[in-house]
Structures are given as structure tokens and as C-alpha cells.
Amino acid sequence: MTYRPIPLIFTLAALAMSLPSQAQSLNLAPSPTIATASVAPTPSDFIVAVVNSEPITNNEVRREIQRVLQQFAQQRRPLPDVKLLAPEVLESLINQKAQLQLARESGLRVEDSAVDESVQLIARQNQIDVPELLRRVEREGQTASQFRAQLRDQILMQRLRERDVEGRVRVTDLEVDQFQREQQTDTSGNIEINLAQILVAVPESPSAVQLDALKARAQRALERARGGEDFAALVREFSDASDLSTGGQLGLRPTSRYPELFVQATQQLSVGDVAALVRSPAGFHVLKVVEKVRPGQPTMVVTQSHARHILLLPNTRLSDAQARDKLLDFKKQVVTGKADFAALARANSQDGSAAEGGDLGWASPGMFVPEFEAVMNRLAPGEVSDPLQSRFGWHLIQLLERRQASLSAEQQREAIRATLREKKLDETYRTWVQDIRARAYVEMREPPL
């Protein structure tokens, strides 16, 4: 088990543009009880290491271990052995301490206004106000000043990384050309696929009449899927499987991890195609190819969404609760047919799209902020969301339609460039961390308990 340090707290606006692996959202729900792996109490604190002139204490290591264990529990991952985790956590704290020292010595600073903005963003992301956020933080054992100090340190480290790591990384046109040539000549057959399915379950020992009826039901779903209807909506209408919340998607994985029946039925298909009906011991399957990629290569076909929204901006005259209630009323009017979504958007939305009835046009993945996109992706065409809060305000979303779209040649090159840059960033970041660690004077004292 390799411990990869999880940032001290949260996804911040300043971190949203950084390495995706470095962003973590704050989970303000009550933490799961960790009985078997929690850190046992100790009667006193002591210094376990000194980085240049700054100490790291046993209690600091213990707090970080507890936080990591809580993260594992919240993600329902197996809990690591604390004895194996402790030295890796200590090494991570040494790296953080060395980076903070370098940032301060080189003149980097974090303004109070940046910390204030981050606190407000975290509160909005968790759909609470700042006083409630601070109350919850205190219930988790931190004071408001400690909370702000950790935010300040995290922003400071991110600014250092932006300056010293991201500024170094460049991807040339020659590198993009070479990547494309290598992919075109790769005959390894190392392909991953993501399939979506509609399962019409068949009971054991069905009668001929039952079997014919179930096959006819599956055939209707197949014909409608091939006719271009939204697959996620067909999943909700027809499927007996347990993957309704994902639109029937089974996930991007190597073909070896799919049933051979599924692989054979879809191996000659392109992204967006629907296979002929597949019969298995579980029943009849309608299979759609959602993605088909080689590991390390960006996908060249994306699912685009066409949506519209109404945006309300809370202010001194419109509280968060009032904005949410107002959007709930708009949703009720639209669903009951008493009002048209576009008309409500034109009259009420505080967004540049209001003049177009809130129409956001066709959007590829990543064009909207994650909290908005996650809700939009769960909608079927024509469906209206519940009100949701993003960093920009309160939204009501209506999905109009979806489609599979191939990236243009230029978009493909930019996708490859982004993939290569992420790889370079990761490699450069690891080297940078090792270099800072090597230049720091580190004295190891007693091992953490």
C-alpha cells in the first residue's frame, strides 16, 4: 500500500485549476466510527522530526493518520495498517513542511481575502452558510483560526506548485505528432470499453409464453435504442438491473473484465452503436458502446448534453433559502405545464443565457463546474432538476437532449496535448517534491506512536 497524501482539507477555487488528483471535497457529514483502526490515545506529545528548524510532533502525525483513516472509511475502502501508514504520513508531513518553508522564503504570501473567499466557497459547496461551516469544523475538533491556517497553508503550497511545477511543463507539436503516430501503429489490442446495458431479467425455467413476452420487451427496448432515444431513459423504463442511477453504464474497464458474450457482441461496433440482442443466463441484454479507448489515450468521442438553466444570485434581498424556494416553485410550474421553462428563464435568470431562454447550447464534458455537471448528467431529456447550488449561485436545469459527438482533428490534438501535459505534470511534480526534500535538513527523532 502506497500512501498518497490527501490535501489537508478541501477543493478550493484556487485548487480547481490544478492537478485533479490534488483536489478533495470536504465531507461534513458525521464521520464513520473507526473502532478497529483508530489511533490509540497517548499521555504526552513529543517531537518526531525536525525540518530545518521546525518540529513535527507526534500529535500532528496522529491527527493526519486519523484523517486519512476517516477518508478511507468514508470512501468505503479497506483501512490500512496504522503501523505501515505512520511512516508514510510522517514523510508526507516532512514534504509539506519543506514546501511551506520554501514558499515563505521565496516571498510567496496568501492574502486574508483569498482565505475568506475559500471559506465562503467551501460553505457554498456544502450548501450551508459560513457560521454553520465553522460550527461543524469546531465539532470536528478544530478552531476557526486553525481551520483558516490550514487553508492558508494549502493555498500557499498550491501557489508554489503553480509557479515552480506547472510553469515548467510544455508539450510541443512534435510530441503530439509522435503520440498520434504511435497510437496508429499500436496493434497490441490493449483496449478498454464502457458498455451500458438494459437487462430484461428471465426467471429460472420460464414458460414459453413468459420467454416470448420478455424477449419482445427486450426487442422493443433495442429498437428504441437504435432509433436514437436517450439510453438512460430507456434503462429506467425497461431494465431490471441495479445500475439505474448510472444510466446502465458498467464502467470503463479492460475487455477481460467483461463477460465474453458482451465482448463478442460489441467488438466490431463503434462508440454509440447498439449491439444485437444478447441472451445470457440472467436474461436478455441490450448493449450500447459508450466508450472504447486505449489506456493513456484520450477518448475521441464524447457524450454532449444540450441543457438550459435558470440562475439566481443570492444577495441581501434574496437569501439562499429564498432562492431555492423560488426555483422549486418554477420547477412545479414547468412540470405541471403551467409555465414554459424558457419563458421563466428569460424573465428571471440572472445569467447571460437568459435572453436565449437559458439555453446553454451543446456542451462537452468538463465545460461546466463539477457540481452543475454531475446533476445535469443524471437527467433524462426533458427532465427538470431540483434546485442546486454551485459556486456561481442557485440553478434549475432542464436537459433537452444528448448526443455522441466525435472530436474534430484540432480538438483531438488538444485532448492529446492535455493528456501528455498531465503525465508530464505528474512526473515533474514527483521530481520536484524529491528535490525539495533532498535540499531540506531533516533530523529524525523518536518514531511516531
- CA dist 269 and 196 (Å) reads 13
Q: Is 430 helix (H, G, I), strand (E, B) or coil?
A: helix
Phi-psi region of 228 (alpha: psi -120 to 50; beta: other; left: phi over 0): left
77, exposed or middle or buried, with CB in 10 Å at 0-12, 13-18, 19+? Answer: exposed
Closest CA to 326 of 348, 296, 350, 294: 348
pLDDT by 10-residue block (mean), the chain, 449 residues: 36 31 37 43 78 93 89 81 91 95 94 90 80 89 90 93 89 90 64 91 91 95 92 91 79 88 90 92 93 71 90 89 94 95 96 94 87 89 91 92 83 84 89 94 91
Question: Quick one: pLDDT at residue 164?
Answer: 92
| Strand partners of residue 315 | 318
Query: What DSSP state is assigned to residue 79?
Result: P
Provide the grid cell at 380.
433524462
The ranges assigned to domains in the chain are 20-169+427-444, 192-293, 301-406
Question: Quick one: pLDDT at residue 185?
Answer: 62
CATH of 20-169+427-444, one of 3.40.710.10, 1.10.4030.10, 1.10.10.60, 2.60.40.10: 1.10.4030.10
Question: Quick one: pLDDT at residue 298?
Answer: 66
Beta strand segments in 373-441, E: 388-390, 393-406
The H-assigned helical ranges of 75-143 are 82-105, 112-125, 130-139
- CA dist 99 and 432 (Å) reads 10
Question: Quick one: pLDDT at residue 296?
Answer: 61
> Residue 395 in contact with residue 360, Cβ under 8 Å?
no
Question: Quick one: pLDDT at residue 121?
Answer: 81
Instruction: Find how far residue 166's CA is from the centre of its chain.
Output: 21
**pLDDT tens-digit readout, 17-71:** 332 233 333 444 333 333 444 455 455 789 999 999 999 999 999 988 988 898 8
On the question of a common fold for 192-293 and 301-406, the answer reads yes
The Cβ-side half-sphere exposure at 328, using a 13 Å CA radius, reads 6
- CA dist 266 and 255 (Å) reads 10
CATH fold of 192-293, please?
Chitinase A; domain 3 (3.10.50)
Domain 301-406 indexed as CATH 3.10.50.40: yes
**pLDDT tens-digit readout, 6-28:** 333 333 333 333 322 333 334 44
- CA dist 149 and 142 (Å) reads 11
| Strand partners of residue 105 | none
- CA dist 396 and 339 (Å) reads 14
Question: Quick one: pLDDT at residue 2?
Answer: 38
CA distances from 77 to 85, 118, 322 (A): 15, 28, 39
| Helices 82-105, 144-164: crossing angle, 10 deg rounding | 70
Our CA angle for 152, 153, 154, nearest 5°, is 90
Cut 0.75: pTM above it: no
Cell 498518497 belongs to residue: 4
Closest CA to 331 of 321, 346, 341: 341
> Residue 193 in contact with residue 291, Cβ under 8 Å?
yes
